[in-house]
């Protein structure tokens, strides 16, 4: 379990999306999907790092880390001191005795000034009553999907770079309106193993976010593997939607970090008496990150666009996730919070920390 203030956050991918339904036939055969990160058959890639900030190239790495969903079987086809001055030297004088009685002196009363500084927000305030929830709806930034495909390292990096720019433009106004000082996250890509301030991870796991260095780590092995593993066109659409959702989810953790939610969560969880309470805190954090993710996707649904087969695969993937560690939320609740974000496009609907226990199972 991550220590207080040092978590890492992410979630994995199931191995493919469903085949679109044929005309004349109803429904889709739903099959449990692996949402972890078990990407076999992909040639090991060396850790690739390039700055996505500043000059526009991806520069990718996590304070607290977040973890992800784990995979299930392949589906079937259908947040100065004041200067001191030395006292002048006084020449001594001779005093004369006086016969007058000294005048009485009046006593002075001392009053203590009342403090004018208000106490800062509590950890509960930061997670339950964060000002981000009142920042209003997210406007579209006319984000369009990169024309590159994640079949190669260059293609995956182009997609990360494009999404980072879009997400920065989309979230900056809301964070600023909520009284925060917006900053974009770092992004690092990796294949094989990667060492971070939050620990060492491998590409057998999902992408993740480390709050210590405010960095998103994207798993090249996963994204390239998902795209190249299946020849069917609809599976490639699924891989593109999965990468979009994963990146936006990890960016959601960055927003939590930017607004103090992530840090407050870590302190609250550290004080919990039982592991069950800690797991519920984790689910609240992760489900909120997915809700934040889909605020962005919903706000840019027309320009990206999320229509046709892309919409079909997005809807399928948000409802087909497994939570083997019981720390991210089950499929039904993930679909519930993701859909709320997508439809409302407003952080006000993503207050998972005020939700009932049933909504964060």
pLDDT tens per residue, range 274-289:
999 999 999 999 999 9
Do residues 296 and 170 lie in contact, with contact meaning Cβ atoms separated by under 8 Å?
Answer: yes
The C-alpha atoms of residue 64 and residue 41 are separated, in whole angstroms, by: 31
Do residues 247 and 163 lie in contact, with contact meaning Cβ atoms separated by under 8 Å?
Answer: yes
Per-residue pLDDT at 112 exceeds 70? no
Average pLDDT of the residues of the chain: 80
Question: What stretch of H or E contains 273?
Answer: none
Q: Can you give the pTM of this predicted structure?
A: 0.75
Burial class (CB in 10 A: 0-12, 13-18, 19+), 167: buried
Per-residue pLDDT at 266 exceeds 70? yes
The C-alpha atoms of residue 88 and residue 238 are separated, in whole angstroms, by: 83
Per-residue pLDDT at 59 exceeds 60? no
Which carries the bigger pLDDT value, residue 237 or residue 38?
237
CA of 169: how far to CAs of 142, 175, 212, 290, in Å? 10, 11, 23, 19
Q: How far is Cα of residue 194 from the mean position of the Cα atoms in its chain?
A: 19
Question: Residue 322: pLDDT band by 50, 70, 90 thresholds?
Answer: confident
Per-residue pLDDT at 36 exceeds 50? no
Per-residue pLDDT at 229 exceeds 60? yes
């Amino acid at each position: 379990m991550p220590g207080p203030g040092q978590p890492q956050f992410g979630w994995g991918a199931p191995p493919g999306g469903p085949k679109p339904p044929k005309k004349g036939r109803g429904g889709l055969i739903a099959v449990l999907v692996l949402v972890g990160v078990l990407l076999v058959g992909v040639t090991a890639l060396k850790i690739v790092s390039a700055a996505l900030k500043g000059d526009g190239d991806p520069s990718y790495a996590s304070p607290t880390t977040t973890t992800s969903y784990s995979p299930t079987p392949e589906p079937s086809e259908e947040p100065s001191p004041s200067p001191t001055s030395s006292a002048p030297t006084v020449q001594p004088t001779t005093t004369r005795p006086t016969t007058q009685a000294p005048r009485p002196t009046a006593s002075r009363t001392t009053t203590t000034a009342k403090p004018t500084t208000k106490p800062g927000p509590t950890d509960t305030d930061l997670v339950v009553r964060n000002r981000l929830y009142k920042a209003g709806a997210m406007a579209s930034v006319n984000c369009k999907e990169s024309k590159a495909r994640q079949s190669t390292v260059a293609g995956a990096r182009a997609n990360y770079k494009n999404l980072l720019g879009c997400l920065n433009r989309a979230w900056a106004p809301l964070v600023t309106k909520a009284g925060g000082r917006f900053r974009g996250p770092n992004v690092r890509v990796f294949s094989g193993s990667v060492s971070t301030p939050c620990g060492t991870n491998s590409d057998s796991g999902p992408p993740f976010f480390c709050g210590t260095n405010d960095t998103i780590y994207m798993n090249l092995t996963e994204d390239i593997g998902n795209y190249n593993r299946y020849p069917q066109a609809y599976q490639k659409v699924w891989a593109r939607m999965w990468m979009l959702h994963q990146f936006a989810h990890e960016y959601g953790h960055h927003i939590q970090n930017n607004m103090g939610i992530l840090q407050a969560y870590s302190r609250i969880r550290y004080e919990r008496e039982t592991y069950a309470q800690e797991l519920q805190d984790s689910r609240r954090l992760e489900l909120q990150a997915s809700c934040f993710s889909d605020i962005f996707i919903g706000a840019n649904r027309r320009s990206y666009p999320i229509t046709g087969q892309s919409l079909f695969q997005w809807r399928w993937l948000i409802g087909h996730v497994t939570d083997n560690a019981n720390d991210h939320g089950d499929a039904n609740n993930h679909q519930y919070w993701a859909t709320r974000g997508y439809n409302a496009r407003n952080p006000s609907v993503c207050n998972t920390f005020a939700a009932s226990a049933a909504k964060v199972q």
